[in-house]
Structure 1
Amino acid sequence: MRRSLAGSSDLKEPCVLPPEKSLRIALVCLHTSPGADPGAGDAGGMNVVVRHQAEALAALGHDVSILTRRSADHQPASMQLAPGVTLEFLDAGPAVALAKGEHEQWIAEFSAQLAARPAWDIIHSHHWFSGMAALPVARRWGIPHVQSFHSIAADDSTPLSAGERAESAGRMPGEAWLARESDALVAISAAEATTITGRLGGAVQRTSVVLPGVDNAMFSPAVPAFLGDRAVPADGRGCVLVAARLQPLKGLDLAIAAVAAVPAGIRPDLVIAGAASADYDGYVDELRALAERVGVTDQLRLLGPQSRVDLAALFRGARLVLVPSHSETYGLVALEAAASGVPVIAAASGGLREAVIDGMTGLVLESREPLVWADTIASVLTDPQRARDLAAAAREHALRLDWARSAASLLAVYQGLLVRTTGGVPTEVP
């Protein structure tokens, strides 16, 4: 769905201009590859969004290139992710995995490599590293530049104790520059759009919301569907699931403390799917130490990053999905859980208020007190009918959001921008 900030939040069919020809679209993801499994390193929801939108755009007849930095020697120059979607690895810095903040020093080299590629009709950058590299190239070629942030830095003086901070010196001024200078700004939620216009000074008229989608075939309920006690073994406990990169931003300490506070007789196992990035080496040890302090070592399972198929299976087997993040631009995991027919308990942060409809598809908590979360977890685990109602509404909500709709909305942004900046969809390489 595409919405202006002044528009209605109701789902509507996007107004898509009929293309005069297939577009050549570049999606730039400097610091993380959309070909990587989410939950590994810095791969997260952004990677999922980029890959699925790319595949859906290609299915609409467009030629899509995804450009990322080579982070391993074995990566080829390019590979086909799907029909019409090419993933290209550009040489910028050492061919090794880097801590996220270290990528700033390789922006200029990545930009030079990008400029050496054949020109596209439009460039869409994801995250500020990518925009800093791609916007000058777009200006040189005379083509439109679209910017998506996916996360926006908060000043250290703000009260968001574990929110998204500037990993490197240029991030905050870089994000503000991109918000001012890009031809269009695409947010993943109304909450992120408000941050773009309020914190970064992006113009409202250049800012659109394009909601993500979900693969409703892969992420689908267990059979029989919507049984609130479907995953309860003989001991009546089952498991709750968190799927996230292992970093403080994701609030994993709250999940552990909350599960520990659930009464022992109904306390579920806590399964955490994801891995720590290079920035947070040792964080897994901190989580294990916390679990030992609160007495749930035997009920904590750290699985590491999962393939999409394996993650979908985990969702189907969970009684609840927890999303305790301090900050989320949307919270794609919550939508994937909804598609799987699993109730979600989420923190009232950022776009999670939009991903989860409080009291209908899940529960949104303002408090970060572990006892409040524990009481909420227990209230769902002990009320199968409530769990069934939440699960059924969640699945119905997810069915309204797929990647074809998301891509059509994004294409409407591209086409509208091309009409404004070039007088029509281009017919020749700039």
Structure 2
Amino acid sequence: MNVVVRHQAEALASAGHHVEILTRRSSPVSDPVQLSPGVTLRFLDAGPAHPIPKGDHEEFIDAFRVQMAALGPYDVIHSHHWFSGMAALPLARRRGTPHVQSFHSIAADVSTPLSAGERPESPGRMAGEAWLAQESDALIAISEAEADTIVERLGGAPERITIVLPGVDGILFRPTDVRGVGGAEAVGGAGGVGVGVSGPVDIRGYAVVAGRLQPLKGLDLAIAAIAAVPEPIRPELVIAGDASADYDGYIDELRALAARHGIERSVRFVGPQSRVDLALLLSGARVVLVPSHSETYGLVALEAAASGVPVVAAAAGGLREAVLDGATGVVLDSRDPSVWAGALSQILSNPAFARRLSLAARERAEHLDWQRSADGLVTVYRALVRPGSLPSLPSLLTA
């Protein structure tokens, strides 16, 4: 979500609009930050000035709204995720300002079993998301799968939903010649992300999983799948990202799982990556895994595509749209590690097949940039604001 918000904001600003991004202060830092010309990031005092578990944010919605009320005016208020929507929509109504809602993830029905280790949703989330879907002036979905969920689960009106696909920076995320032989060495040496090896480079290379480290992302499946790949072609598994405040100790659980599968020396945790380091990491990979239980889209799959790297993804939500099965990667309905290992083995052992996926993935990603994504937002905004307020349309994105 943070990547989408920032890149869309910068693309809006490059087109002449003024954007303010509001977020809860989660550190002692409170001064506004100019992210780029026309984009200002503001930190609002709402709750403690340190990271808190996602499920606890609901306590601070009212405080966030009080802080928002001192800012503006804005032509459009665009909320990202339900916390900010619950804070922003009442304020937008009082001001007569159009309110746009994006969800980025939608709570599962209470009858849906939780993935192992997942904490329950905060009490007001499901009702809050339904209220936002039914009362906001416009709804932005990141995929057809999310649009369907907004209608079917939240009761949002289809005519108020617009699908705006995310973009990708095709200059930052691009193919290189360091894939396969030498790939791990090049990443470790140039990017400093800890993926390098000493001595001869293993021709098996490495696979990548990137994202927030939590049970929803299916990292246990990634480890089990890599363990099931035949040893002569088994790549190292590089896991990029960090556990959130909700999941203290989760990385230790994953290390223990790798040890039980006998591949503890072939699973490497490199922590959260800068955008530059992530791009370098992906470009050197032989394959990227996205084994999430749920994804509204799966931005890392698009970034892997731009990097010319085949993706093996779960058939979860928008991943069916982010990865074209058999064309830019492989999409699997099964969560059986042996099935995943078979798909990985086909890519790892068949260079012609991997090359075909790689070329098609890059070609598709080249048509999906951030300016196109921002243009989709502007189309929605134009339909809501009063005539004569453009082209300098100030917009607020709450993250």
Q: What TM-score, normalized by structure 2, do the two folds share?
A: 0.91
Aligned counterpart for 1:298 among listed residues 262, 265, 272? 265
Aligned counterpart for 2:13 among listed residues 50, 58, 62? 58
Aligned counterpart for 2:331 among listed residues 361, 364, 383? 364
Aligned counterpart for 1:139 among listed residues 93, 96, 100? 93
User: Which residue in 2 is equivalent to 1:281?
Assistant: 248
- Answer whether contact 1:339 1:398 (CA < 8 A) is retained: yes
Instruction: Tell me: CA distance 1:384–1:230, structure 2 relative to 1, closer, same or farther (3 Å).
Output: farther
User: Which residue in 2 is equivalent to 1:340?
Assistant: 307
Query: Alpha-carbon deviations, 1:386-419, whole Å to 9, x = none?
Result: 111100000000000000100011110110122x
Partner amino acid, structure 2, of 1:291: A
* In structure 2, C-alpha distance between the alignment counterparts of 1:112 and 1:372, rounded to whole Å: 51
Query: Alpha-carbon deviations, 1:210-262, whole Å to 9, x = none?
Result: 000000000000137xx776748754311000001110000000000000001
User: Which residue in 2 is equivalent to 1:204?
Assistant: 158
Q: 3-state DSSP class of the match of 1:64?
A: strand
Aligned counterpart for 2:345 among listed residues 359, 378, 387? 378
* In structure 1, C-alpha distance between the alignment counterparts of 2:207 and 2:249, rounded to whole Å: 24
Is 1:189 matched up with 2:161? Answer: no
Q: 3-state DSSP class of the match of 2:73?
A: coil
Aligned counterpart for 1:319 among listed residues 280, 286, 291? 286
- Answer whether contact 1:153 1:165 (CA < 8 A) is retained: no
Instruction: Tell me: CA distance 1:172–1:331, structure 2 relative to 1, closer, same or farther (3 Å).
Output: same
Query: Alpha-carbon deviations, 1:120-154, whole Å to 9, x = none?
Result: 00000000000000001111110100000000001
Is 1:130 matched up with 2:84? Answer: yes
- Answer whether contact 1:187 1:193 (CA < 8 A) is retained: yes
Instruction: Tell me: CA distance 1:160–1:362, structure 2 relative to 1, closer, same or farther (3 Å).
Output: farther
RMSD: 1.9
* In structure 2, C-alpha distance between the alignment counterparts of 1:260 and 1:353, rounded to whole Å: 25
Is 1:259 matched up with 2:213? Answer: no
Partner amino acid, structure 2, of 1:80: Q
Partner amino acid, structure 1, of 2:324: I
Partner amino acid, structure 2, of 1:387: A
Partner amino acid, structure 1, of 2:259: E
- Answer whether contact 1:228 1:385 (CA < 8 A) is retained: no
- Answer whether contact 1:160 1:326 (CA < 8 A) is retained: no
- Answer whether contact 1:156 1:165 (CA < 8 A) is retained: no
Partner amino acid, structure 1, of 2:22: L
Instruction: Tell me: CA distance 1:160–1:93, structure 2 relative to 1, closer, same or farther (3 Å).
Output: closer
Partner amino acid, structure 2, of 1:345: V
User: How many angstroms does 1:77 deviate by?
Assistant: 2.5
- Answer whether contact 2:180 2:205 (CA < 8 A) is retained: no
Between Structure 1 and Structure 2, how many residues are aligned? 378
User: How many angstroms does 1:50 deviate by?
Assistant: 0.2
* In structure 2, C-alpha distance between the alignment counterparts of 1:161 and 1:255, rounded to whole Å: 15
User: How many angstroms does 1:96 deviate by?
Assistant: 1.0
Query: Alpha-carbon deviations, 1:101-135, whole Å to 9, x = none?
Result: 11110100110100111210000000000000000
Instruction: Tell me: CA distance 1:423–1:166, structure 2 relative to 1, closer, same or farther (3 Å).
Output: farther
Partner amino acid, structure 1, of 2:30: P
* In structure 1, C-alpha distance between the alignment counterparts of 2:308 and 2:61, rounded to whole Å: 41
Q: 3-state DSSP class of the match of 2:52?
A: coil
Residues 142-153 of structure 1 aligned to structure 2 (within 5 Å): 142-153=96-107
Aligned counterpart for 1:272 among listed residues 232, 239, 249? 239
User: Which residue in 1 is equivalent to 2:169?
Assistant: 215
* In structure 2, C-alpha distance between the alignment counterparts of 1:99 and 1:322, rounded to whole Å: 26
Bigger helix fraction: 2
User: How many angstroms does 1:164 deviate by?
Assistant: 8.1
- Answer whether contact 1:154 1:163 (CA < 8 A) is retained: no
Unaligned ranges ≥5, structure 2: 185-199, 395-399
Aligned counterpart for 2:380 among listed residues 413, 416, 424? 413
Partner amino acid, structure 2, of 1:191: A
Partner amino acid, structure 1, of 2:161: T
Aligned counterpart for 2:61 among listed residues 96, 107, 112? 107
Q: 3-state DSSP class of the match of 1:265?
A: helix
* In structure 1, C-alpha distance between the alignment counterparts of 2:241 and 2:201, rounded to whole Å: 28
User: How many angstroms does 1:423 deviate by?
Assistant: 5.2
User: How many angstroms does 1:78 deviate by?
Assistant: 0.4
Q: 3-state DSSP class of the match of 2:246?
A: helix
User: Which residue in 2 is equivalent to 1:86?
Assistant: 40
- Answer whether contact 1:228 1:391 (CA < 8 A) is retained: no
Unaligned ranges ≥5, structure 1: 1-45
User: Which residue in 1 is equivalent to 2:295?
Assistant: 328
User: Which residue in 1 is equivalent to 2:212?
Assistant: 245
Instruction: Tell me: CA distance 1:414–1:162, structure 2 relative to 1, closer, same or farther (3 Å).
Output: farther
User: How many angstroms does 1:270 deviate by?
Assistant: 0.3
Is 1:354 matched up with 2:321? Answer: yes
